[in-house]
Structure 1
Amino acid sequence: MTAIICMALSALGVVIAVLTASRGRMRAGLRWLAVALVPTGLYLTGLVTVFRNIGTTLANWATHLVFDPKVWVGVAMLCGTVLILLSTGVRFGRGRRRGKEQGQVPAKGGAPSAPPGRPAGAALPAKGSAPTADLGDFSDVEEILKRRGI
């Protein structure tokens, strides 16, 4: 029965592709043809059966989720884990540089090299000067970033 449904879907897609191409829209017709080949390709590779098994397994899991207290204890443990990680300040994917100025990396000789984007011979701005004075009304953003140490 699965083979018949997949072949019928592919045949319907081919008909739509031919009708679209006959109206002068060849690119759209080729796209429809590509989509039309998917159901038969999934059937021939056996992936339809795999997806059916996955769906059945997920349905069984969902049924046990509703009626099994052991599953609810596991869900509570996972939620507790997430809350503990979030409350302790764990940030995934954000590396922090400690002990070094942001943008300056020591060279082989021990002296700090120029920050990225700045030529090696260019002078660094003085501590008291405003390096972003030319940004206009971004001074409030600069102030927020300075307060956070960025």
Structure 2
Amino acid sequence: MLTAAVSFALTAAGLAVAGLRARRRRLRSATRWLAVALLPAGLYLTGLFPVARTIGGELADWATKLVFDPRVWTGIVLLAVSAGLLVATRWAGRRGAVTDGGTRPAATGPGPARPALSGTPGAAQAPKPAKDAKPAGPAKKGKSDDGLGDFADIEEILRRRGI
């Protein structure tokens, strides 16, 4: 009974504020106040206040157990260890230090091409040149300097790859 009285009192107060806002020609604010004012009556009429009370009670019981029950602390420690192991294996996998239980490394050869950390998104990292590959010579000096010097490097890379 008290819940109904409080709910409808809050709704009435909200409707009064919405009416004052509408009278001052602040229609957007009046509409917001009307929407908020209808919430307590709607929650009461649908029976959601007892549900909220039950959920609040269960959360309070869980919080009490969290503080005083050693079994809950054991569960928290197990969750933390699990998360730590997942993060550690992910980090070690990126560093290439994960082994296959024996002495040989898990990855035999270069991994898949990954996007570069800097530069344009989606650009793959260039593989290292082979030991017998000739280093790229200096850019040709016969061309005029038209501000396209950066593109000469890209052109040389593309030419080396046969593109």
TM-score for the superposition, normalised by structure 2: 0.56
Query: In structure 1, what residue type is equivalent to 2:23?
Result: S
Q: Please name the residue that 2:119 is paired with.
A: 141
Are residues 50 and 148 of structure 1, via their aligned partners in 2, closer, same or farther at CA, if it must alter by over 3 Å?
Answer: farther
Shift of 1:83: 1.1
Q: Please name the residue that 1:31 is paired with.
A: 32
**Deviations, residues 48-105 of structure 1 (Å, cap 9, x unaligned):** 1111111111101111111111111011111111111111118xxxxxxxx9878xxx
Aligned residues: 104
8 Å CA contact 2:14–2:36 kept in 1: the answer is yes
Equivalent-residue separation in structure 2 for 1:23 and 1:7 (angstroms): 24
**Deviations, residues 17-72 of structure 1 (Å, cap 9, x unaligned):** 00000001122212211110011101111111111111111101111111111111
- Classify the secondary structure of the residue corresponding to 1:4: helix
Query: In structure 1, what residue type is equivalent to 2:21?
Result: T
Equivalent-residue separation in structure 2 for 1:100 and 1:64 (angstroms): 48
Q: Which of 1 and 2 has greater Rg?
A: 2
- Classify the secondary structure of the residue corresponding to 1:80: helix
Q: Please name the residue that 1:56 is paired with.
A: 57
Q: Summarize the alignment of residues 31-110 of structure 1 with structure 2, pairs less than 5 Å apart.
A: 31-89=32-90
**Deviations, residues 102-124 of structure 1 (Å, cap 9, x unaligned):** 8xxxxxxxxxxxxxxxxxxxxxx
Query: In structure 1, what residue type is equivalent to 2:68?
Result: F
Q: Please name the residue that 1:8 is paired with.
A: 9
Equivalent-residue separation in structure 2 for 1:67 and 1:148 (angstroms): 56
TM-score for the superposition, normalised by structure 1: 0.60
Higher deviation after alignment, 26-35 or 5-14: 26-35
State the 4+ residue runs in structure 1 displaced beyond 2 angstroms: 99-102, 145-149
- Classify the secondary structure of the residue corresponding to 1:141: coil
Are residues 19 and 148 of structure 1, via their aligned partners in 2, closer, same or farther at CA, if it must alter by over 3 Å?
Answer: farther
Percent identity (aligned):
47
Task: List gaps (5 residues or longer) in structure 1.
Answer: 91-98, 103-139
RMSD: 3.0
Query: In structure 2, what residue type is equivalent to 1:15?
Result: A
Equivalent-residue separation in structure 1 for 2:36 and 2:19 (angstroms): 13
Q: Please name the residue that 2:23 is paired with.
A: 22
Q: Please name the residue that 2:133 is paired with.
A: none
Query: In structure 1, what residue type is equivalent to 2:119?
Result: V
